[in-house]
Amino acid sequence: MSKMRKTLQISRPFGKVGILALLWLLFFIGAAEAAVHLKPVQSQLLAPGVGNPNRTFEIQLDRLNTRVDHGEHIDCVFIGSSRVLVGLDPEAVEKAYANITGNDFKCQNFGVLGMGIQGSAGTATMLANLYHPRLIVIGTNFIDFGVGLPDKAIVDSPFVREHSGHINFDGWVTTWSLAFRDYLAEVSYLAIDNAQDEYNYLGYNITKPNGFLPLIGHKTDNMQNWNNLNVHYKITVESTRPVKSILAIKKGNTQILFLEIPLRTSTFKAVPHAAEYRHEFEDGINFVLQGSGSQIWLTQDLNLIPESGWIESNHLNVDGAEIFSKWVGEQLGKSVKDGSLILPEWSQPNP
């Protein structure tokens, strides 16, 4: 075997193609960014994505962004699952609030399909950091504390992490590049392989600009899907941890309110141990909220919703949502008026 010799011999010019490529790269990125900011181009594209596996989340974020971009001050955001998405009409809340207080109160619905308490916590932190609403209402009930809900992916997505205090490259790019956000939406759309998913993906067309999804109709109660779910809703120390992280937001300039979203009476017959879970939910939340200055409004026992107000076992139809939202708006107005709910002054959102 022969002796070793010097094997690295770099000579000039070196890296000319690389430097040129870098310039091209900047040009391509700039051109794409400029193109997607043109209205004719933007009108042809889907609502931008943020790389979140839950498309409703992306649509709701786009709805909120659009309103903020149009200069609206969002005072209040409702966060929660599909029960919030279809059960709280911001317009009805605003009207009822204004009737009591005489003041304007802009609300946005940020209900997301399949989002439990963990997803709500991450979303609330993100929205508080980005938009500084005066009030965040977490719409929830014991079902959101169920084991095995697929909402961890929502909080693990880079964009949510970026705006919840965990700086990361993907989240940074998503925040600053509209072209990248448009790409994420388009590529997720292209990945759809069946008509049902496509319908769901494009379903944002029926969501109002304030994030509310009105459902029309009334179905007789069908509990089949509940019996098939192998989930328990036991409230534990672990499952209430997201509630604590939501309360941490209060240190900023945002008030937090928990609101129980009611369930159809028959749900309590169909879900084994439902009454017990609901009781645990009430006790568990009250225990965590002790001394925090935040409160929970329990609604299940108020029997606010008539039978005609349900679309099925646990979702309100547009009539039920109207009744419930009006009640929420009135309660908010009264509480603010009598000082039992203190709302901070409005502050500028992040650019």
Partner 1 sequence: MSITSLVFAGFVLVVLCLYYLLPGKSQKLLLLAASAIFYISWDWRFAITLTLVIIFNFYIGRRLHKLRGQETAQSAGERPKKGKRLLWLGIAINLAALLFFKQSGFFLHGFQALLNRLGFPNQTSALAIILPVGMSFYILQAISYLVDTHQNQIPVELPFIDLALYLAYFPKVLSGPIERAGSFLPKLSERVVVDNQQITESITRILIGLVRKIVIADVLAARIPTNFFSSPAKFSSIELIFWWITYIISLYNDFAGYTSIVRGVSGLFGINLSPNFDNPFFSTSVTELWNHWHMSLSQWLRNYVYLPLTRFMLRFNQSGRFLPNIIVPALVTMVLSGLWHGESWNYVLWGALMGIWIAAERIRTVYRPAGENLANLPPWHAKRIFSWAGFLVVIFLIAIPFKFDIANSFVFWRSLVTNWFLPPSLLGWRLPLIAFIPAFFIDWIQFGKHDELIFIRWKPIVQSVLLALCVLIIFLALHAEPAQQFIYQGF
Judged by the rule CB under 8 A, the positions of this chain that interact with partner 1 are 1-11, 14, 16-18, 20-25, 27-29, 51, 170, 180, 183-184, 187, 190-195, 198
Q: Indicate the burial class of 178 (C-beta count within 10 angstroms; 0-12, 13-18, 19 or more).
A: middle
Helices 55-69 and 117-131: crossing angle in degrees, nearest 10, is 20
Nearer to partner 1, 84 or 154 (CB): 154
Task: Quote the least distance from Cβ 48 to partner 1, whole Å.
Answer: 13
Q: For partner 1, which is the closer residue by CB, 4 or 216?
A: 4
Task: Kindly state the smallest distance separating residue 43's Cβ from partner 1, in Å.
Answer: 21
What distances in angstroms separate CA 82 from CA 27, 55, 215, 316, one per listed residue? 42, 13, 11, 10
Phi/psi at 79 (nearest 5 deg)? -120, 140
Query: 191 vs 216, which CB is nearer to partner 1?
Result: 191
Q: Name every residue whose Cβ is closer than 8 Å to that of residue 278 and which is 6 or more positions away in sequence.
A: 141, 142, 268, 300
Q: How far is the CB of 49 from partner 1 (least distance, A)?
A: 10
Find the shortest distance in angstroms from Cβ 27 to partner 1: 8
Q: Which is nearer to partner 1, 150 or 272 (CB)?
A: 150
Nearest approach, Cβ of residue 333 and partner 1 (Å) = 45
Q: With respect to partner 1, which residue has the nearer C-beta, 19 or 229?
A: 19
**CB of 194 or CB of 230, closer to partner 1:** 194
The crossing angle, in degrees rounded to 10, of helices 241-249 and 274-289 is 40
| Look-up of token digits 């901070």 | 344
Residue 152 backbone dihedrals phi, psi, to 5 degrees? -65, -35
Q: What count of Cα atoms within 13 Å lies in the side-chain half-sphere of residue 259?
A: 24
User: Residue 258 is inside which H or E element, if any?
Assistant: strand 255-260
Q: Nearest distance from residue 208's CB to partner 1, in Å?
A: 28
